[in-house]
Structures are given as C-alpha cells and as structure tokens.
Amino acid sequence: MSHIAYINGLYEPNKNALINIEDRGLQFSDGVYEVIYVWNETPVDYGAHIERLSRSLNELNIPAPMSWRSLTVIIKEVIRRNYLRQGIIYIQISRGVASRTHGYSREMEPSLVVTAKFTAPPSEEIVKKGVKVLSTPDIRWARRDIKSISLLPNIIAKQSALDVKAFESVFYKSDGSVTEASASNVWIVDKDKTLITHPTSRDILGGVTRATILKLARDAGYRISEHSFTLQNMHVADEVFLTGTTTFVMPVVQVDKHTIANGYPGECALELRDRYIQYIKDVDPVMAWNV
C-alpha cells in the first residue's frame, strides 16, 4: 500500500508529494520537525510534542503554518488515510520557498509536510539482551534544544554506531560529560539506585519521552537527579539506558569496550519500560489530542 502524505494543502501518495527545489528546508536545513508515536491510531504525548514544535518554531522565528487545531485535523487525516494503527507521524515545517540567499523575509509562508510510517519499537528480543552504544565527540551546534532538521552530526554518529553493530552513539563534550545520544536521551542508575539524566538546557533536546519517564519514575518512587555525568560514570554505573519516541526505554549493556554491571539489562530500565508501555496503552483516544 502506498503511503499518503500531506504537503502544503494536498494529500498525495508519498511518491507524488514533491517539495519545491527552492524550499529553504532543502537548501539550508532551515526548518524544524517532530516525531510522534502512534498507538491504536492515537498519538502518545501529543500535547508535549506540539508544545516543543511551537517552541522550536519560536526560537527560529518561523511562523506556525496554521493553528494547532488545523494541524491536528491534518494529522488525524494522515493517520486515517494511512490506516496507521502503530507507527510514527513525522511533521516537518520549513521556513518556506524563496530564491536562495542566506537572509530571509519575515513574510515567508512556511512549508508543512506530514508523513506516516509503519514501525514498531525495538523488539522484546533486542530489549532482553540489551544493546551496545558507541561514544563519539559531540560536534553539534550550541542549540541542541531546538528540534532542527539539520541533523548531519546525528546521522554520522548513528551510522558509525550501526557500522560496528552498536545501537546508538552517545555524545560527549570535550570536558568528558555526556549530553545525549544521536536520537535518544541517556540515563544512568548509580550504586544507590538514583536515576541520573542530563538536565534540560541548550546542550540536549528536551525529550518528550524523557519527561514522561521522569514522571513515571517519580510516581514509582525512584530517586532522581538531573545532572550531567561523564563516560567514566557510565562505565561504573549499575545501569545505563536510553529513552526516545522510537526507542521507548532501551537497556544498554555495553559502552564502547566496557560492559555495564553484569552485562544484562538492568531492572530499573526494564521496569520503566513496562510502565511506559502501560502508559501508552492507557492513553485515552479522545483526551490524547488535547494541546
């Protein structure tokens, strides 16, 4: 079955959905995006994704292409036309189309693309074994809090991980502190079972899954500390795990050559993953759309 995309006012099969060659998203990566998980035709943490999208647009002075209510109508329609029961919705907004020059007019009309993809989270089989991650220098720009479509360092990092059969690359700064991974946030569990993750700042993307896991972990009585940690701290941690829209909660059992604890997925990661899956299943199909 051909996928149906929304592009600037039209619903088209993906192969016919064409972007203007002078779209600034294409020429300058001048745009932002969101990836939202869909379960039973219902989005997960929709309000938080729309809030982050709105913030990303504001930070870059890109106007919203329409009201959030209208965007919601389009997203529902893309889900409906694709019969998307389980997968992701990708939303991309670029500054729009103009003859190529670095500066831009504030009057430009932004371009909006919404696509659907059938995909499942990592399988139980992978989760049961846990994954390996690679460390890599964080060479990204200084505004990682903006969900910009400019992702070259992220894709290079991800591919170097895949090339050595690792699941993700974890970024570290020149002072040795770990920021996040190429498409997920990073957590460690220390010896006294405190969950530690980098605080939200311009250094990381404030993950929507990260925020939900913080809430679920607090409700479950975990001690939590939002502060930065080093690669060395990861090596000696009791547990390491990743969170993200497409990752859910993924236990990490190896960082470069270092085996984490006994080399098996940790119990906190597995418990939080179960709680997260339950949280997704419990989403109310009507309330889920509230922005």
**Contact residues: ligand PDD, CB under 6 A:** 35, 154, 180, 183-185, 205, 207-210, 243-246
Question: Is residue 214 classed as helix, strand or coil in its secondary structure?
Answer: helix
Residue 258 in contact with residue 235, Cβ under 8 Å?
yes
Judged by beta carbon, residue 24 or residue 158, the one nearer ligand PDD is 158
Question: Is residue 145 classed as helix, strand or coil in its secondary structure?
Answer: coil
Question: Is residue 38 classed as helix, strand or coil in its secondary structure?
Answer: strand
Judged by beta carbon, residue 242 or residue 255, the one nearer ligand PDD is 242
Per-residue CA distances from 283 to 44, 162, 237 (Å):
7, 33, 33
Q: What share of the chain is helix, strand, coil (3-state, %, to 5)?
A: 30, 30, 40
Judged by beta carbon, residue 132 or residue 210, the one nearer ligand PDD is 210
Q: In whole angstroms, how close is the CB of 105 to ligand PDD at the nearest point?
A: 29
Give the span between the Cα atoms of 191 and 42, in whole angstroms. Answer: 38
Residue 265 in contact with residue 253, Cβ under 8 Å?
yes
Nearest CA to 175 among 127, 125, 230?
230
Q: How many residues are recorded in the chain?
A: 291
Of 147, 158, 165, 215, the active-site residue reads 147
Nearest CA to 36 among 96, 115, 154?
115
Q: In whole angstroms, how close is the CB of 262 to ligand PDD at the nearest point?
A: 27
Based on the residue annotation, tell me whether 117 is a catalytic residue of this protein: no
Judged by beta carbon, residue 108 or residue 149, the one nearer ligand PDD is 149
Nearest CA to 241 among 122, 131, 126, 128?
131
Judged by beta carbon, residue 71 or residue 250, the one nearer ligand PDD is 250
Quick one: CA torsion of 17, 152, 87, 145, rounded to 10 degrees?
-110
Q: Where in the sequence numbering do the catalytic residues fall?
A: 147
